[in-house]
Amino acid sequence: MRTRFRRWMPVMSTARREAIMQLSQLINKQAVRRPLPSYNFTENYDVIIVGLGTAGAIAAITAGRSGLRVLGIERMNAMGGTGTSGAVLNYYFGSKGGLYEQLDEAVAALEKQGYTKSNGINSELKKVVLEREALLAGCKIAYESSVTGVYLDGNRVLGLRWAGPEGTHSTAARFIIDCTGNAEVCAAAGCATRMGRELDGMMQPYSNAVMLVEGKRVKHYYTDAGYVDATDARAMSAAIIDSSTLPTHLMENYEDSRRLLRTAPLLGIRESRCIVGEENVTLPAYLSGKVTSKPIFYAYSNLDSHSKDMALESETLQDWSVVASLWGMNLSIPVPLGALIPRGFDGLLTAGRCIALDHDFTTAIRMKRDMQKCGEAAAAAVSIAMKDGIAVRDIDYNKLLAVLTTTGCYRKDNDVGMKDTQHKEDEHNRVVGWMSDVETIRAGLDSTKPGIAIWSAKRLDHAIRPDLRLWMLEAGREHLRKHSALALGLLGDPLALPVLRSIVRERDAFVPQTSRKYNIARALAAIYLLGKLQDQEMVPDLVAVADSRGEWGDGYHNDEFINDREELDFQYYSFSIMALLRIGEGCSSLRADIAAKLNALTKERELSILLKSCQAHGWRYPMSPIIRRAVHLWLKRWS
pLDDT score recorded for residue 18: 43
CB count within 10 Å of CB 386 equals 25
Q: Please compute, for residue 309, the number of CA atoms within 13 A of its CA located in the half-sphere on the CB side.
A: 28
Q: Tell me how far CA of residue 323 lies from CA of 265, 289, 302, 445, 450, in angstroms.
A: 39, 20, 16, 12, 10
pLDDT of residue 5: 33
How high is the pLDDT of residue 557? 61
CB 212 within 8 A of CB 261: yes
Predicted local distance difference test score (pLDDT) of residue 370: 99
pLDDT 10s digits, 322-372: 999 999 999 999 999 999 999 999 999 999 999 999 999 999 999 999 999
1, pLDDT greater than 90 = no
For Cα atoms 528, 530, 534, give the angle at the middle one, nearest 5 degrees. Answer: 115
Question: Looking at residues 69-83, what average pLDDT do you find?
Answer: 99
How large is the average pLDDT for residues 72-79?
98
- Residue 142 per-residue DSSP state: E
Residue span of the structural domain in which 131 resides: 5-196+340-412
**Of the candidates 296, 246, 135, 288, the residue with the CA atom closest to the CA atom of residue 621:** 246
Task: List the one residue out of 579, 553, 575, 611 whose CA is nearest residue 311.
Answer: 575
pLDDT tens readout for residues 162-213? 999 999 999 999 999 999 999 999 999 999 999 999 999 999 999 999 999 9
Quick one: which of 372, 375, 376, 380 has its CA closest to 351?
A: 375
pLDDT of 109 > 80? The answer is yes
Whether residues 47 and 160 share a domain: the answer is: yes
> For residue 215, what pLDDT band results from cuts at 50, 70 and 90?
confident
pLDDT at 618: 67
Structural domain includes residue 279: no
Name the E strands within 271-372: 274-275, 295-301, 329-336, 348-350
Q: What is the 3-state secondary structure (H, E, C) of 400-431?
A: HHHHHHHHCCCCHHHCCCEEECCCCCHHHCEE
Decide if pLDDT at 274 tops 50.
Answer: yes
Of 219, 239, 263, the residue that ends a domain is 263
| Residue 560: pLDDT band with limits 50, 70, 90 | confident
- Asked if 154 and 224 sit in the same domain, the reply is no
The answer to whether 377 touches 409, Cβ cutoff 8 Å, is yes
Q: How far apart are CA 407 and CA 208, in angstroms?
A: 33
The answer to which of 246-255, 343-352, 446-455, 566-575 has the lowest mean pLDDT is: 246-255
Comparing CA positions, the residue from 392, 284, 384, 373 lying closest to residue 335 is: 373
The pLDDT-based confidence of 14 (bands split at 50, 70, 90) is: very low
The pLDDT of 288-315, averaged and rounded, is: 97
Is a pLDDT exceeding 60 seen at residue 541?
yes
One domain for residues 170 and 68: yes
pLDDT for 611 equals 83
C-alpha 218/C-alpha 212 separation (Å) is 6
- On whether both 188 and 227 belong to a single domain, the answer is no
Q: Does one domain contain both 70 and 17?
A: yes
Alpha-carbon gap, residue 340 to 400, rounded angstroms = 14
- Using alpha carbons, select from 121, 124, 117 the residue that is nearest to residue 103: 121
- Asked, for residue 192, whether it belongs to a domain, the answer is yes
Examine the domain organization and report whether 111 and 242 are in the same domain: no
Which H helix or E strand runs over 456? helix 451-460
Count the domains in the chain.
Answer: 3
Same domain for 38 and 165, yes or no, is yes
Q: Do 349 and 219 belong to one domain?
A: no
Contact 445, 454 (CB under 8 A): yes
Is residue 3 over pLDDT 80?
Answer: no
Note the pLDDT tens digit of each residue in 225-238. 999 999 999 999 99
Phi, psi of 117 (to 5 degrees): -75, 150
**Strand, helix or coil for residue 293:** coil
The verdict on residue 351 lying in a domain is yes
End of a domain among 382, 412, 442?
412
- Out of 216, 237, 263, pick the residue that ends a domain: 263
Question: In this structure, is residue 172 part of a structural domain?
Answer: yes
Judge if 164 and 242 occupy the same domain: no
Residue 102 domain-assigned? yes
The answer to the question of residue 350 being in a domain is yes
- pLDDT tens, residue by residue, 121-172: 999 999 999 999 999 999 999 999 999 999 999 999 999 999 999 999 999 9
Ramachandran region, residue 518 (left: φ > 0; alpha: ψ -120 to 50; beta: rest): left
Q: For the purposes of burial, counting CB atoms within 10 Å of the CB of 457, is it exposed (0-12), middle (13-18) or buried (19 or more)?
A: buried
In the predicted structure, residue 559 carries a pLDDT above the cut 80:
no
Quick check: is 356 in a domain? yes
More confidently predicted of 258 and 347: 347
- Strand 430-432: give its sheet, edge to edge: 295-301, 329-336, 418-420, 430-432
Query: Which carries the bigger pLDDT value, residue 1 or residue 428?
Result: 428
Measured CA to CA, the distance from residue 26 to residue 394 in angstroms comes to 29
157 and 122 together in one domain: yes
How many CB atoms are closer than 10 A to CB 417? 11
One-letter identity of residue 617: H
Residue 554: what pLDDT? Answer: 63
The predicted structure's pLDDT at residue 425? 84
Predicted pLDDT of residue 164: 97
Report the candidate in 213, 153, 154, 148 with the shortest Cα–Cα distance to residue 185.
148
Residue 271 CA to residue 274 CA, distance in Å, equals 8
Same domain (yes/no): 9, 53: yes
pLDDT over 90, % of the chain: 86
437 found inside a domain: no
* pLDDT bucket at 13, cuts 50 / 70 / 90: very low
pLDDT (tens digit per residue) in 27-41:
999 999 999 987 789
Structure confidence at residue 189 (pLDDT):
99
Distance CA 299, CA 419 (A): 13
pLDDT exceeds 90 at position 615: no
Q: Are residues 159 and 233 in the same domain?
A: no
Domain with residue 348: its CATH number is 3.50.50.60
